[in-house]
Structure 1
């Protein structure tokens, strides 16, 4: 996060607070952790924390999804493999030990906090997956992808599938087999390969 006014942010405090939030999330869970406990663990004050993050949800979001976790879209040279890798990465991102604890609370907070809602949207936007547009453009050029496919819609389908699967199967249900089956459906649709469309 940036600090547009006043003295420059001390990155050491930022890191200490993020580390403390991650530790406490793992120890006591989202509902029980407090900003006061995070500040104490980090060796700073509550006002110092709130100057950086407006709420616990914003802090937990950043502690759970560090800025580099979605950096770089897969580019293997095969769109089928790229799509499989994208599904795998998102499934992995949403089932880390911290994400398992944080995501339900963050989703609940997002229902009433438009700012954290927007941050979550940005986290899984095409802009966060740098290079995804280029990956899709290359797939269109090679004839492996319809030119009308929107990067954000594709991400929504992958993220939505992963979130739904964590609810119905549990985080351990997003197995390599689930990843492969989901990627295959996204790639080929649900019709048999030899199906001919009828008017």
Structure 2
């Protein structure tokens, strides 16, 4: 049965949100993703489980929102250039993925999402849709400036930057060095600038 969601228009208590997110961070750091339960989060945050389920439909959604961003990611700054905007995007993703607490949960979180179609569908409709909107806005600004020769695919750009960072941090275990975001942005910008509208 689908957990009850918070009714539209009902304001959330930010203190409860903060307590839940802090509880998740501490529990993941202590016990890893596998050891995290909704009961443990509720006890640590001193809230009822219903308060958690009104906000999140699964453990995966809860952990992602606590460690990366909420359902609506913050808009990226308009730096005035495609490469600058891409650098800002890469910096946000690198900062999230290189957080030691997220590093303890990230691979298991991805595996859980892949194994459960219902969780994957909610994840796509909330977090991925929010991120895709940010990437779409970035590309629309670049097109308005005349920086792109052809329409660009936001899903492909999103996957390119996200996948590069995920592989760098989790698969290759390479260090996140100064200037890495700019290098990822330069490669992504070059690919976009030379893409053909097929």
Same fold (TM over 0.5): yes
TM-score by length of 1: 0.76
Distance 2:79 2:15 in 1: 37
Aligned to 2:127: 123
Aligned to 1:144: 147
Correspondences of 1:23-102 after superposition (within 5 Å): 23-67=26-70, 70-102=73-105
The answer to whether the 8 Å contact 1:21/1:63 transfers is yes
Higher mean displacement: 85-94 or 110-119: 110-119
Cα 1:101–1:120, aligned 2, differ >3 Å: closer, same or farther? farther
Count of aligned pairs: 187
Aligned to 2:186: 184
1:65 CA drift (Å): 2.6
SS in structure 2 at match of 1:154 = helix
- Once superposed, what is the RMSD of the aligned Cα atoms? 3.0
Distance 1:25 1:107 in 2: 15
TM-score by length of 2: 0.77
The answer to whether the 8 Å contact 2:29/2:101 transfers is yes
Gaps of 5+ in 2: none
Aligned to 1:104: 107
1:155 CA drift (Å): 1.0
Gaps of 5+ in 1: 194-199
Higher mean displacement: 44-53 or 30-39: 44-53
Cα 1:112–1:77, aligned 2, differ >3 Å: closer, same or farther? same
